[in-house]
Structure 1
Amino acid sequence: MKLHIGGKEIKEGWKILNIQKNEGVDFVGSITDLSQFEDESIDEIYASHVVEHVDQNNIKKTLSGINRVLKKNGKFYISVPDLDILCRIFIEKTAPLKVKFHVMRMMFGGQIDDFDYHYFGWNYEFLNSYLVETGFTKNERVKTFDIFNDTSSFAPYGPLISLNVIAYK
């Protein structure tokens, strides 16, 4: 099975886990609790702009839970707002206020509902460290995944605003 956490786009071969019951959602639940899935039962997990919604006290448990359900050599496609890139855009003296406000929302969440808050600012050093600590054996930074049409390839101000990593169990 391939699991798209937080997904909305229906794609053949992928099941969707979302915290909100929407059309196309196969499993309702949170990335922080994958207890509905057996150990080593999932080939690939995709989570674009989801992990930053996990509070700092639960991130190790969450990443360990993802590792638990992945099969041996399974892949975890993880995309998060890249704090290094967003900070560069935000402090650019010539950036208009409208751009800075948009970047601020990408840092802290759009806050359009109870689930749209960011609890963690990620850069590669932070993410790689947590992935290694929770048992992932190889972490590869990539430009894009080209699997779903989502924020992982969003570049409204030139550079991609996402940090995209494939973590291997």
Structure 2
Amino acid sequence: MTIANEDDSRRHRLPDPVPKFLNVGCGYDIRKGYLNVDNGDWHGPDLVADITDLPMLPADYFEEIVAQDVLEHIQRSAQVASLREWGRLLSSTGTLKVRVPSFYDMAILSRRADFQTEEMQQYLVQMVYGTQAYPGDFHLCGYTPWTLKANARDAGLIVTDIRLKDDWLYDVTLRRADALGLLSDEDWVRYVYLHHLDRLADEEGFLFWTSELRRPRTREDVLSAIRAVAG
């Protein structure tokens, strides 16, 4: 028994150096070159810990944090605190990439013609509530661009990109709020659409305003022009 405990302690000791890439709530998605963290030791992560509270990890350190299919398993009341904790770990140039279910797009799927079968409706219910195949595999939240923006703001983060995947999932990129000046032109335009216009960037508008920044025009001028056009 003593040997097993010692082996377990070694298995969960932080590597030296700590990788610059972090995978929280990794499950069985163990990524090479990342510090893989999960609260379930049966997944074989590098570190077993509560992914919403990671005081053993260095602040302002990670260049990328991945939380894929994770946030929806955390209570709504703890969403902002979890994002704030992951933001604490991000470097000033780092990105936080999360994948979450889109409440809005799951509602659209519920009315789509190809979903009007028993099999597809059962699949839809699984999308909404999780597989519930084991403890913790329950979806406690769904998301829209506006709720993502609000939670990010309250956690000291900004949303720089939202992409729809497989018709029901959002791939979301977040940065620290103090990294606004470090955004690429493309990320800055997407940020402006969501945070100033309260909508996702359409392709035509995105291409036009990014081209305007190459004329060159200052971001302040372009922001004023976007607001004027939006009315």
> Which TM-score tier does this pair reach, normalised by the shorter chain?
0.7 to 0.9
Structure 1 pair 23/78, CA: closer, same or farther in 2 (3 Å)?
Answer: closer
Q: Among residues 63, 79, 94, which one is paired with 2:83 in the alignment?
A: 63
Q: Counterpart in 1 of 2:21?
A: 2
Q: Counterpart in 2 of 1:123?
A: 144
Q: Would you say the 8 A contact 2:23–2:31 is kept in 1?
A: no
Q: How many residues are paired up?
A: 155
Give the SS at the match of 2:131. coil
Gaps of 5+ in 1: 144-152
More helix by share: 2
* Paired residues for 1:65-104 under 5 Å: 65-92=85-112, 95-104=116-125
Higher RCO (CA 8 Å, separation ≥ 6 residues): 1
Structure 1 pair 97/56, CA: closer, same or farther in 2 (3 Å)?
Answer: same
Structure 1 pair 97/66, CA: closer, same or farther in 2 (3 Å)?
Answer: same
Q: Counterpart in 1 of 2:218?
A: none
Cα separation, 2, equivalents of 1:119 and 1:10: 24
Give the SS at the match of 1:90. helix
The TM-score with structure 2 as length reference comes to 0.62
Give the SS at the match of 1:31. coil
Gaps of 5+ in 2: 1-19, 177-231
The TM-score with structure 1 as length reference comes to 0.83
Cα separation, 2, equivalents of 1:138 and 1:13: 25
CA displacement 1:61-107 (0-9 Å, x = unmatched): 11110111111121000110111111111233552121111111111
Cα separation, 2, equivalents of 1:30 and 1:76: 18
Q: Counterpart in 2 of 1:19?
A: 39
* Residues 1:167 and 2:188 aligned together: no
- Counterpart residue identity of residue 82, structure 1: S
Q: Counterpart in 2 of 1:141?
A: 162
**1:23 shift after superposition:** 5.0
CA displacement 1:80-137 (0-9 Å, x = unmatched): 0111111111233552121111111111111111110111111111112111221114
